[in-house]
Amino acid sequence: MPVYKLYYFNARARAEGIRWLLSLAGVEFEDIRIDRNDWPTKKQEMPLGYVPVLEVDGQKLSESQAISRYLANTFGFAGKTDWEKALADQYVDVVYDILSAARAISRAPNDEAKAEIKRILIEVDGPRILGHFERCLESNKSGYLVGDSLTWADVVVASYLDSFIDRISPEFGELLEKFPKIRAHLDKVRAIPQIAAFIAKRPKTVL
C-alpha cells in the first residue's frame, strides 16, 4: 500500500472530501494540518504554491478535484460508465460554484458587499444549485447522485455542504432544510461507518 500524506490547513473546505475518500478506502494517511505561521516556508514545497496537496509515495499532486478524481479512480468510486463519470464530474463542478461564492463572501471589501454576495447565494444561486441536486436525487431513486451506488460526487458534495453549514451559517443551514432529499443525502454520507469514524475524531474547525 502506498504511503499517503495529505497537506492542508486546519480546516475542512477543499480537503475534507479527500479525507473522507481516503477514510472510505480504508487507507492510512497522514492528515497534515499546516500551521499558518509555517505556511510561508511550506508554500515553497508545494508544486503550485497552494494546498491541498496529496503526496503518494513521495510524489506530490495538487488541485483538490484532480486529487479526489484520482482517489475515485484508484478506489472504484468514479462511476461505472463514461456517462456516470461525467455526471459525477458535473456535480463536483457545480458544488465548486457554491465554494466560489463562499470565498467571495469572506473576501468582500466591506459588510455591505458581504451581505449582497450572501443574499445572491442564499436567494438565487444556492436554491438553483440545491434545487438541481434535489431533483436529481428525486429522479435517481437510489439515494445517490449518480447511478445505483456511491461515487466520489456524493462524498465531495456532502463534504462541502458539511463545511458550508458552518461557514455560511445560519442562512445556508436554513436553506438546506428546504431540500429534504439533499439533507438526507448529507446525513447518509456522513453516517457511512468509515466517514462517521473520521468525523468523530477530526479536529473541530469553523471552515
Ligand X SMILES: N[C@@H](CCC(=O)N[C@@H](CS)C(=O)NCC(=O)O)C(=O)O
Which residues bind to ligand X, rule: CB under 6 A?
A: 13-14, 43, 50-52, 63-64
Indicate the residue among 43 and 178 with the shorter CB distance to ligand X.
43
Question: Min. distance of Cβ 138 from ligand X in angstroms?
Answer: 29
Least CB distance to ligand X at residue 93 (A): 11
| Closest distance of CB 165 from ligand X, Å | 18
Task: Indicate the residue among 43 and 132 with the shorter CB distance to ligand X.
Answer: 43
Residue 179: exposed, middle, or buried by beta-carbon count in 10 A (0-12, 13-18, 19+)? buried
CB atoms within 10 A of CB 193: 9
Instruction: Give the nearest distance from C-beta 13 to ligand X in angstroms.
Output: 5
Count Cβ atoms below 10 Å from residue 114 Cβ, excluding itself: 15
Which residues contact residue 35 at a Cβ distance below 8 angstroms, ignoring those fewer than 6 apart? 10
User: Contact at 8 Å (CB) between 22 and 29?
Assistant: yes
Query: Nearer to ligand X by C-beta: 51 or 130?
Result: 51
DSSP 56: E
CB closer to ligand X out of 39 and 140: 39
Residue nearest to ligand X (CB): 50
Distance from C-alpha of 129 to C-alpha of 106, rounded to nearest angstrom: 20
